[in-house]
């Protein structure tokens, strides 16, 4: 019958309660003492004989400015191997014939501390020699004397051999240290960031006028978000100027304009301006206004030089603009659902107004509620509004149901009844021709301006008196007037001067 193993524990491994010899289970926690594994025998650890304390030599004296006396070099202390024998005094990495100075240099670079136990150093041996060419006039030195000569800087510098090879040698660090340092560059006064020229392809911040704008549209100096290119646009020609601004409430500019100058077949000048206002309740109104302005401008530039009457050319330009906006609704993946049967229900849409000054005539054309005004240079003469809105308010006034003040005070006043777009009920371009008898300026604008100067007299009061001679400045002043009034909408205005034809010149 087998015997249970006896334990020799003084305390329970489970709860640390004291045990008595012969216990098979712990009286406190019931631990099975027979399952306690036998303790593994302690590995043999040879003892190291400790002799008398080591008598370290006194550190050698140092010259003033040298290393501290508390610093020991490997060569300052005698080393012994694990058997108590002195270590060889020749470093194992030294080749036979190396001068003592080279040994000291190696020792100083190594800075390897001695440890109590270290393997017996192998006997010194020669390092393998790297084969080099020796058939040239400057043979590479491979012996100890040659290395010493190179270290001393007396060996000749390697030169190319007959076949163009070079015998390479390590550069002498003392020669590099002996070279004088280049003189410091003269200090330059810091450049004024306000007058600094931005690098090519970048522009200065519109807020601080100092930082450059990064590709994401933010100033690297003040972090100000820069306006998008279309948020504020200006263009000036000799006979026409236009300004468009996003305003203070809209997140983008949905207005667009186009201004151009051309000539009639007889060589007389013709100036034109197109202003479009995207319908915000439609999809992609900014694209609609841009497409309409571009198409109308191109149509007029093609029709006028070939002799088309300006009023007929204006009618054709509005038709071309409508076709361009209609085409946006047919483009796949541009916001409208391609397979939706009602996908034209919210098609891109915009209004349009244009003016042409040519051959003593003033031609205007429009669809929607963007307007054109006539403001004579002589402010004692009455100004005039040249367009009639396609809007709910205009229909109420035309039907005699409301006067103009009541109609435009209604919340439905700006609901338009005519526009360019695929879902327009019927395209009805309006055109009119005028022949002013005095010089003046034509104001072509969106409702973002005329909301703050609705009547012709109000518009005449805000147009600068020198607008005919300073077209861009005049347009800027009008946009500023709208922004000062609240800037609730995008603001776009174009100014065209009208001058009388010289006496005797032909007219339509």
Q: What confidence score (pLDDT) does residue 253 get?
A: 95
Q: Which residues of 251-288 are buried (b: 16+ CB within 10 A; e: fewer)?
A: eebbbbbbbbebebeeeeebbbbbbbbbbeebbbbbbb
* 135-145 CB burial, b ≥16 within 10 A, e <16: ebebebbeeee
pLDDT at 54 over 50: no
Mean pLDDT, the chain, integer: 75
Which of 35-39, 134-138, 456-460 shows the lowest per-residue confidence on average (mean pLDDT)? 134-138
> For residue range 55-101, what is the model confidence (pLDDT) as tens digits?
545 555 555 544 444 444 444 444 444 455 555 554 444 444 545 45
- ∠28-31-33 over CA atoms, to 5°? 120
Say if residue 195's pLDDT is above 60: no
147-154 CB contacts, 8 Å cutoff, 24+ apart: 147/98, 147/102, 148/98, 148/99, 148/102, 151/102
Whether the per-residue pLDDT at 323 is higher than 90: the answer is yes
DSSP label at 33? Answer: G
Which one is predicted more confidently, 277 or 40?
277
pTM above 0.85, yes or no: no
Residue 459 has pLDDT above 60, yes or no: yes
- Interval 487-505: pLDDT, tens: 999 999 999 999 986 554 4
Averaged pLDDT for residues 299-320: 97
**410 vs 305: which has the higher pLDDT:** 305
Highest mean predicted confidence (pLDDT) among 36-50, 154-168, 265-279, 336-350: 265-279
Please state the rounded mean pLDDT for residues 314-325. 97
Higher pLDDT, 154 or 436: 436
What span, in angstroms and rounded, lies between the C-alpha atoms of 200 and 234? 22
Which residue in 287, 291, 309, 289 sits closest to 300, CA to CA? Answer: 309
Write down the pLDDT at residue 277. 97
């Amino acid at each position: 019958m087998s015997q249970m193993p006896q334990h020799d524990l003084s305390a329970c491994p489970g709860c640390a309660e004291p045990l008595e010899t012969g216990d098979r289970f712990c009286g406190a926690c019931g631990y099975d003492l027979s399952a306690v594994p036998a303790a593994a025998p302690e590995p043999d650890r040879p003892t190291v004989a400790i002799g008398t304390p080591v008598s370290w030599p006194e550190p050698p004296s140092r010259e003033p400015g040298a290393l501290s006396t508390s610093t020991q070099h490997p060569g300052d202390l005698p080393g012994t191997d694990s058997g108590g024998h002195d270590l060889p005094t020749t470093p194992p990495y030294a080749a036979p014939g190396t001068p003592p100075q080279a040994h000291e240099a190696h020792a100083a670079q190594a800075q390897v501390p001695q440890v109590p136990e270290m393997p017996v150093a192998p006997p010194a041996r020669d390092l393998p020699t790297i084969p080099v060419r020796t058939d040239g006039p400057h043979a590479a030195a491979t012996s100890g004397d040659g290395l010493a000569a190179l270290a001393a800087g007396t060996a000749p510098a390697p030169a190319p051999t007959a076949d163009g090879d070079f015998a390479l040698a390590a550069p002498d660090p003392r020669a590099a240290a002996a070279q004088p340092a280049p003189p410091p560059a003269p200090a330059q006064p810091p450049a004024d960031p306000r007058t600094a020229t931005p690098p090519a392809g970048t522009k200065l911040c519109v807020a601080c006028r100092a930082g450059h704008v990064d590709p994401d549209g933010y100033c690297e100096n003040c972090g100000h978000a820069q306006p998008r290119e279309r948020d504020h646009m200006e263009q000036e020609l000799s006979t026409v100027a236009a300004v468009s601004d996003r305003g203070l409430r809209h997140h983008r500019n949905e207005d667009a304009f186009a201004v151009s100058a051309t000539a009639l077949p007889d060589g007389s000048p013709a100036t034109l301006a197109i202003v479009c206002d995207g319908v915000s309740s439609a999809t992609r109104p900014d694209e609609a206004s841009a497409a309409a302005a571009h198409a109308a401008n191109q149509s007029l530039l093609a029709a006028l030089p070939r002799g088309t009457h300006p009023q007929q050319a204006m009618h054709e330009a509005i038709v071309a603009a409508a076709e361009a906006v209609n085409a946006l609704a047919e483009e796949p993946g541009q916001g409208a659902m391609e397979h939706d049967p009602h996908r034209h229900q919210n098609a891109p849409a915009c209004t349009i107004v244009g003016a042409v000054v040519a051959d003593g005539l003033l031609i205007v054309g429009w669809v929607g509620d963007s307007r054109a005004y006539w403001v004579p240079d002589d402010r004692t003469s009455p100004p005039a509004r040249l367009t009639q809105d396609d809007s709910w308010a205009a229909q109420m006034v035309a039907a005699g149901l409301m006067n103009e003040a009541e109609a435009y005070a209604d919340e439905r006043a700006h609901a338009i009844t005519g526009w360019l777009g695929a879902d327009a009920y019927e395209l009805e371009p309006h055109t009119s021709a005028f022949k002013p008898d005095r010089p003046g300026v034509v104001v072509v604008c969106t409702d973002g301006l005329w909301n703050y100067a609705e009547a012709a007299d109000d518009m005449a009061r805000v147009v600068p008196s020198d607008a005919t001679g300073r077209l861009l400045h005049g347009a800027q002043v009008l946009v500023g007037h709208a922004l000062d009034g609240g800037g609730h909408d995008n603001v776009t205005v174009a100014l065209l001067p009208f001058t009388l034809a010289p006496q005797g010149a032909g007219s339509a």
